[in-house]
Amino acid sequence: MATDMPKALLFDVQGTAAEFHATVSGVLRAVDAGRNIRQDWEGIVDRWRAAYFASVEHASIRGGEWVSVHSMYRDALDVLLDEWGVTGWSDADRERATSAWRRLEPWPDTTAGLDRLRGRFTIATLSNADVAAVVEMSKSGGMRWDAVFTAEMGGVFKPDPRIYRMAARYLGFAQQDIMMVACHKYDLRAAGELGFRTAFVARPVEFGPHGVVDTTYESDFDVNAADFLDLADQLGC
């Protein structure tokens, strides 16, 4: 870590600042209300998240008119419910389930860590989620940002270089004065290639207690942290 500190921190949200696996699987169970009692809801969440990433990649390659992340999740859910043999769900049930991605819960360390970091740095989101989704989950989860930036505002998804440059432009700082914070290494590497500083935050249960997650610390990143509180410690907050 360089002796001079960054001036701003950009945070990935889904997975890094907010937990999704337990939250979304819990909503699926609540929506189902016992109609498909033997269903593997955790498995569906895993496939749902994978389908979302595939949709983002396809949209990035295809270009053209912007497609909201909410619609990506909604379309993927319809396919998954059929594939997994889930029956008895109305359109309202499906919409309620999809809306779970807008109300993700922060990790236990998130709000306290962010509050400490806000005392020293400008902090903002840089998420692939829709603006409305980030605003809603931030308000419901008590995550206080100085600014909200998402892919929707730039018309491209991470790791497209344009979205990182957009955030730097709006913040008014040089890219080397901004640190990207994420638990996803592809996100950090994309930012690092543009001159941003990088902070890896390990989220070992991002994909649930039995999920496989790469939490290895790497010297390529300026900071490797166990959570947001550890990050605040290392950045002198």
8-19+105-234 against 21-102: fold identical: no
Backbone angles phi, psi at 127, to 5 degrees: -120, 150
139-167 pLDDT per residue, tens: 999 999 999 999 999 999 999 999 999 99
For the four alpha carbons of 165, 167, 169 and 171, in that order, the dihedral sign comes to: negative
Specify the CATH superfamily of domain 8-19+105-234: HAD superfamily/HAD-like (3.40.50.1000)
- Is residue 180's pLDDT more than 60? yes
What is residue 14's DSSP assignment?
Answer: B
Distance CA 209, CA 206 (A): 8
Averaged pLDDT of the chain: 94
pLDDT at 2: 46
70-97 pLDDT per residue, tens: 999 999 999 999 999 999 999 999 999 9
Mean pLDDT score, 198-217: 93
2-42 pLDDT per residue, tens: 458 999 999 999 999 999 999 999 999 999 999 998 999 99
- pLDDT-based confidence at residue 113 (cuts at 50, 70, 90): very high
Name the strand (E) or helix (H) holding 129.
none
Closest CA to 168 of 122, 234, 237: 122
Give me the residue label for tokens 């008119």.
Answer: 65
pLDDT at 1: 46
| Residue-range domain boundaries for the chain | 8-19+105-234, 21-102
Q: Which CATH fold topology does 21-102 show?
A: DNA polymerase; domain 1 (1.10.150)
